Structure 1
Amino acid sequence: MKMNIIRISEMKDFVGEEVTIKGWLYNKRSSGKIKFLIIRDGSGFVQGVVVKNEVAEDVFELCDKLTQESSITVTGVVRKDDRSPYGYELTISSIKLIQMAFNDYPISLKEHGVDFLLDNRHLWIRTPKQHAILSIRHEVIKAIQEFLNNNGFVRIDSPIITPSTCEGTSDLFQIDYFGENAYLSQTGQLYQEAAAMALGKVYSFGPTFRAEKSKTRRHLNEFWMVEPEMSFVDHYENMEIQEKLVEYIVQSVLENRSKELKELGRDLSKLEKIKTPFPRLTYDEAIEILKKNGYEIEWGNDLGSPDETFLSNQFDKPVFITEYPAKCKAFYMQPKEDRPEVVMCADLLAPEGYGEIIGGSQRIHDYDLLIKRLKEENLPLEMYDWYIDLRKYGSVPHSGFGLGIERTVAWITNTEHVRECIPFPRTLSRIRP
């Protein structure tokens, strides 16, 4: 007889059948002649029930000996159980021990401090909440790539080690590259602009690095970003693509990861409202709203986290803040034709106080203007010679944006700090494990 070796996530397809699951013991409890085992296998969690008079004596005795996180193979019949938080239950007939975990497993089923949990991040990710967050992170990444691949984008991987920077060196990690100064990349954008001139619509996806000494709940020193870049696309088309992408991400998570969202206690009705179009405020309008509500901010200053939080809380969808002053944005952004002191850019702020999840702009495509902006920022022209070439040989209007994975996941999962939205966070005070 063929053995059905399945994953917990597949149990719905095997109700009434005998199956085998390979996994780990997450928790257990006893009610006299019945043992209840919570088993996880990476795809989900399920309760297994062991009844003394229905199994061999050694199987029932093994249940008492099993320690938390022992690896086991269990066989039993799948039962649908609407009362169970998992939806299904396994009536166990046999258990095979793979490895008895040491009995000093550090993350017991009680409250622990954040620092302790981060020190044990390699084990913390086994818990239901972290499992749910990281599963949703996977869904976010999958949805992003589906959307871009289905809309004619080509993935082009940008280098992580770069000789020059995109927005200055003050917050970059500098490294010695065989006697030359180099940096861990803060963005793949400049390389994506080159690729867009070759392939039309492209994107990069990978880690980026910022040496900011920030301890806020929104910041990491290593994070992941997707950066699409598009030839013949202006500022307004760029925003339309961004909002369609965000809608696709959220709806994909709702469709495919509702179980995990419920595990996290997420209010699904808030995510169900994330449909295009998204509201838009100019920077001028944003400053006026902030001043009217007692915020001390002057025109020309970049928006801080409290400013972004207040503005985003006025809407139940992400909101674009557009046309920032040129002096608080990067050198490569296209000035507005009738008002050159502002640039054709937009930050997309997530609702519920999660701040900026996308930054994007139309890029300068005029050769003379790019040279002028580089000089104004005191950036060495020789370091940007290849980037300048793009404006010499068939330059066209083009736009792009960067979406931060961890901030997007934090918003969708309603997670307080982005450090829980990446498998192994790197922060100002943490480089282990």
Structure 2
Amino acid sequence: MKTIMIHEMPDHSGETVRIGAWLSNKRSSGKIAFLQLRDGSGFVQAVVVKEVVGEEIFAKAKSITQESSLYITAEVTVDERSTFGYELQVKEIEIIHEAVDYPITPKEHGTEFLMDHRHLWLRSRKQHAVMKIRDEIIRATYEFFHMNGFVKVDPPILTGSSPEGTSELFQTKYFEEDAYLSQSGQLYMEAAAMALGKVFSFGPTFRAEKSKTRRHLIEFWMIEPEMSFVEHAESLEVQEQYVTHVVQSVLQNCKLELERLDRDVSKLEKIQAPFPRITYDEAIKFLNDNGFDDIKWGEDFGSPHETAIAESYDMPVFITHYPIGIKPFYMQPHPDRDDVVLCADLIAPEGYGEIIGGSERVHDYELMKQRIKEHGLDEAAYEWYLDLSKYGAVPHSGFGLGLERTVAWISGVEHVRETIPFPRLLNRLYP
């Protein structure tokens, strides 16, 4: 007899199969029991009819406890009432392990309780759906960049310097030297782009930022492409094409998961390149004209400002050309203005904030030295990075997309803590 997984059931309609699963929930009457099963690939209902299986197996079905593991032998049948479209008509049940007093019951639980039991909370339908959407975003990311001629490169996680200063980095000892957990692989990816043309990285990054907002994590994952011979305008096109590809891939391949999360997919269906673009100057004027008198030119936007701007659009919106004083040293100045740089933040709709930050990079050697000095950075620590603009410098651009904020936006969950398997927060390092 063939052992299959739940997601393979449509290929075995009418056949008797064996499935290994866990019991997520159940209900029963005097003559029939309904077992809600999961196996990691999906969820399905298994129907146990007393007259079919006999007293012994029916009694076993009624006694199975939540999250017990079992093997089910059953016939795959069509069920037009379920979103999955199939169910199991049980013939035999073999209990592998009986779970006793499983802590997460179908009743409501507080957030801290669920976070303390994150290792078990991941088994729930909602968390399963979010993780499947996260996986699809990752798959679509690799697909997009490989289809467009990018090479995957892995920058180091331990670094001796920072792209944006060391005030929000985790410091550690690297034998006799100071080292930091990376907040971005960007500088190393620029070096890789000088060797391989178009590259991207995908890996963990760390910010020692004491923030408790729904948008922030201490450890999160970033996709960071860098492109040689690509200027600011072309980089924006790559960004909007990439985000469009990811959203459309989720719509196509995660229909059940989006439905399980009650996501309004009509909002996602609108996501198509090109995206609207406004300058920082225009954004400041818009905010000042709409009741945000607290924000002045030269200041960075907070969450309320980004949300207000995003609410004027039903697609992600680029805010371009930020003031030079609030952006990192490596961003290329505007050719016609000395007070702004060639950069953009991509703000997601529905209040999810910035999901991409990107810019054209400085490629002039003397300007790069000047910017490093102006930012109070140790030139010796960046000597290798200066070599990039010293030997065969070219215009080049790049950006970074925060995976967890993107997962939150696409899946429609409120807090980024649900978008990563084991979140690291200001007050949480367990489990």
Q: TM-score, normalised by structure 2?
A: 0.99
Q: Is it true that 1:402 corresponds to 2:381 in the alignment? A: no
Q: Is it true that 1:350 corresponds to 2:348 in the alignment? A: yes
**1:229 maps to which residue?**
226
C-alpha displacement at 1:12, in angstroms? 1.4
Is residue 8–residue 45 contact of structure 1 (8 Å, CA) maintained in 2?
A: yes
Residue 73 of structure 2 is aligned with which of 67, 75, 97?
75
C-alpha displacement at 1:62, in angstroms? 1.0
* Structure 1: unaligned runs, 5 residues or longer: none
Distance 2:123 2:84 in 1: 16
Q: Secondary structure at the match of 1:49?
A: strand
Distance 1:264 1:87 in 2: 18
Q: Is it true that 1:129 corresponds to 2:140 in the alignment? A: no
Q: Secondary structure at the match of 2:4?
A: coil
C-alpha displacement at 1:85, in angstroms? 3.8
Residue 428 of structure 1 is aligned with which of 417, 420, 426?
426
Residue 325 of structure 1 is aligned with which of 318, 323, 326?
323
Q: Is it true that 1:206 corresponds to 2:200 in the alignment? A: no
Distance 1:284 1:390 in 2: 32
Distance 2:54 2:12 in 1: 24
Distance 1:308 1:247 in 2: 20
Distance 2:379 2:179 in 1: 16
Equivalent AA in structure 2 for residue 111 of structure 1:
E
Distance 2:19 2:271 in 1: 37
Residue 246 of structure 2 is aligned with which of 244, 249, 270?
249
Q: Is it true that 1:191 corresponds to 2:211 in the alignment? A: no
Q: Please list, as runs of the form range in 1=range in 2, the aligned pairs for 1:16-415 lying within 5 A after superposition.
A: 16-101=14-99, 103-295=100-292, 296-415=294-413
Equivalent AA in structure 2 for residue 49 of structure 1:
V
What whole-Å deviation, never above 9, does each CA across 1:374-394 have from its counterpart, x for those lacking one?
Answer: 000010000000000011100
C-alpha displacement at 1:7, in angstroms? 1.1
Distance 2:301 2:338 in 1: 20
What whole-Å deviation, never above 9, does each CA across 1:380-412 have from its counterpart, x for those lacking one?
Answer: 000000000011100000000000000000000
Is residue 47–residue 86 contact of structure 1 (8 Å, CA) maintained in 2?
A: no
Q: Secondary structure at the match of 1:348?
A: strand
Q: Secondary structure at the match of 1:169?
A: coil
Q: Secondary structure at the match of 1:365?
A: coil
Q: Secondary structure at the match of 1:13?
A: helix
C-alpha displacement at 1:24, in angstroms? 0.4
What whole-Å deviation, never above 9, does each CA across 1:158-206 have from its counterpart, x for those lacking one?
Answer: 0000001110111110001112111000000000000000000001110
Distance 2:338 2:135 in 1: 41
Distance 1:82 1:291 in 2: 54
**1:6 maps to which residue?**
4
C-alpha displacement at 1:57, in angstroms? 2.8
Distance 2:21 2:28 in 1: 20
C-alpha displacement at 1:83, in angstroms? 1.3
Q: TM-score, normalised by structure 1?
A: 0.98
Distance 1:64 1:45 in 2: 19
* Equivalences, count: 430
C-alpha displacement at 1:308, in angstroms? 0.3
Equivalent AA in structure 2 for residue 157 of structure 1:
D
C-alpha displacement at 1:80, in angstroms? 1.2
Is residue 317–residue 348 contact of structure 2 (8 Å, CA) maintained in 1?
A: yes
Is residue 164–residue 182 contact of structure 1 (8 Å, CA) maintained in 2?
A: yes
Identical aligned pairs, as a percentage?
A: 63
Distance 2:224 2:350 in 1: 24
Is residue 83–residue 256 contact of structure 2 (8 Å, CA) maintained in 1?
A: no
What whole-Å deviation, never above 9, does each CA across 1:79-108 have from its counterpart, x for those lacking one?
Answer: 11121243211100001111111x211100
What whole-Å deviation, never above 9, does each CA across 1:108-137 have from its counterpart, x for those lacking one?
Answer: 011100000000000000000000000000
C-alpha displacement at 1:14, in angstroms? 1.5
C-alpha displacement at 1:323, in angstroms? 0.1
* Structure 2: unaligned runs, 5 residues or longer: none
**1:418 maps to which residue?**
416
C-alpha displacement at 1:226, in angstroms? 0.5
Is residue 161–residue 185 contact of structure 1 (8 Å, CA) maintained in 2?
A: yes
C-alpha displacement at 1:65, in angstroms? 2.2
What is the RMSD computed on CA atoms of the aligned residues? Answer: 0.7
Distance 2:370 2:400 in 1: 25
